[in-house]
Amino acid sequence: MDCLPEEISLLYKKWLSGAASEEEQEALLKWLETPGIEEILSADMWNTWEELRAKHIGEQESATEPLLPAKEAPIVPIVTKKSSKIVWFRRALAGAAAILIIVTGYVFLLQPGQPVNTVSSGTGPEEVSSSNDMLPGRAGAILTLGDKSTLVLDAMSQGVVARQQDVVVRLEQEQLKYLQETDVNTPVVYNKMTTPKGRRFRVVLADGTKVWLNAGSSISYPVPFAGTERRVEVSGEAYFDVAPNKKKPFRVVSKNAEVEVLGTQFNFSAYEDQSFVSATLLEGSLRFSSGKEQVLLKPGQQAVKSDEIQGLKLVKNIDSVHVAAWKRGVFDFNNASLQEVLRELSRWYDFEVVYQDAAASDIVFGGRMGTDLSLSQALKALQVMGVKFTLQNKTLYVK
């Protein structure tokens, strides 16, 4: 079974839109109990959601679109590698705007801001043990200007926040925008935008390049761009939509790698707590280099420089939707270890992780869920595999 039958896809779309009759819901329920359905459930249901989303709001993101879509979480299955059977419940069919997490026979119906409702096919998973819950992150960043003064952007009002030479810096709808008023050459100053854990933000640079900055990241850049190139430095993760300029190549530099582009869209990841740097190309062309080695990427390819292997690794036919999911406000775990999952969650919810049971890190997860869940809701899907959590003073203990 490789894809959803057409009639089932139509039923699923009707259910999502709230137009499915009771009989149609029963038909969908019966089909979802088919043995082996978990092999195709996640990808096809996600594609269906994306089709509906594109129909209603369009696939192109505008400059005024909020960084994190409010309560726009899709219905997404999360399935562990050990999953052998999916049990679907009628109460899940009633919540068309919720997040659905399916793990080894358990169904969790999660709605942002609401308590977790659970139903199980056997002994229920243990509740998350935490002294206090943690809210999801939000749009926000710290801007360091050329004179070393700092601005906390999520605490400021909309409008002009700074003037540097002939460049005006404006805060508009959860993004920072640089506007160069004249073409006169002026002394260059450097700005640095930092997103602490639990924050993401977007910036439009003076040349029109758009940058989405993930949690726990930073980008340093000149204001304005001068000389024969446009050069920025990144730590953490950022998504770039580079303004075309053949006369001024755009370069992204990190701890041990460099990317050169002319005009393109790509995701760049270089966190200090991970052992690799990667660049994933979505559109255009991109040259990835490290030391004397370099590789030219085509759309749908990824280059990786890892501390654990020699040379550069080229990955073809990469899932770009997965790589850039964070930009859309989605956690997307594809055969991710517990350590990888918690590393991403810790950046968004701002906590540290202490492992009290090393065996827990061997569990592998897959699936998607919205970033607008509370921490306890996000952890619920992981607890069903027997992993226990205790939260104390922003430290998550894993047993």
Euclidean distance between CA atoms 268 and 349, whole angstroms:
21
Q: Residue type at 300? A: G
Residues 308-341: tens digit of each pLDDT? 888 899 999 898 888 989 998 888 887 788 889 9
Q: What is the second-level CATH architecture of the domain 138-323?
A: Sandwich (2.60)
Cβ neighbours for 114, distance < 8 A, ≥ 6 positions apart: none
Strand, coil or helix: 28: helix
CA neighbours closer than 13 Å in the CB half-sphere of residue 107: 17
Confidence at residue 184, expressed as pLDDT on a 0 to 100 scale: 65
The fold adopted by the segment(s) 329-398 is Phage tail protein beta-alpha-beta fold (3.55.50)
Q: Is the peptide bond before 224 cis (omega within 30 degrees of 0)?
A: yes
- Are the C-beta atoms of residues 312 and 303 closer than 8 Å to each other? yes
Nearest CA-CA partner of 176 in 101, 94, 67: 67
Nearest CA-CA partner of 218 in 187, 197, 189: 197
Q: Residue type at 122? A: G
Blockwise average pLDDT, block size 10, the chain, 399 residues: 67 68 74 60 53 45 38 41 33 35 36 38 37 83 94 93 90 92 77 96 95 97 91 97 92 92 91 92 93 92 89 89 88 85 94 84 76 85 76 87
Fold match between domain 138-323 and domain 329-398: no
Cβ neighbours for 59, distance < 8 A, ≥ 6 positions apart: none
Euclidean distance between CA atoms 173 and 63, whole angstroms:
8
* Secondary structure (DSSP) of 307-343: TTSSSEEEE-S--HHHHTGGGGTEEEEEEEEHHHHHH
Euclidean distance between CA atoms 26 and 29, whole angstroms:
5
- Are the C-beta atoms of residues 86 and 105 closer than 8 Å to each other? yes
Running DSSP on this structure, what letter comes out for residue 374? -
Cβ neighbours for 179, distance < 8 A, ≥ 6 positions apart: 167, 168, 169, 170, 206
Strand, coil or helix: 292: coil
Confidence at residue 111, expressed as pLDDT on a 0 to 100 scale: 39
Confidence at residue 367, expressed as pLDDT on a 0 to 100 scale: 75
Strand 395-398 versus strand 389-392 pairing type: antiparallel
Domain boundaries, given as residue ranges, for the chain: 6-130, 138-323, 329-398
Take residue 260 and report the two structure tokens written for it. 């050169």
Strand-pair partners of 177: 170, 204
Euclidean distance between CA atoms 313 and 191, whole angstroms:
32
Confidence at residue 4, expressed as pLDDT on a 0 to 100 scale: 61
* Secondary structure (DSSP) of 214-262: -TTEEEEEEES--TT-EEEEEEEEEEEEPPP-TTS-EEEE-SS-EEEES
Please tell me the pTM assigned to this model: 0.73
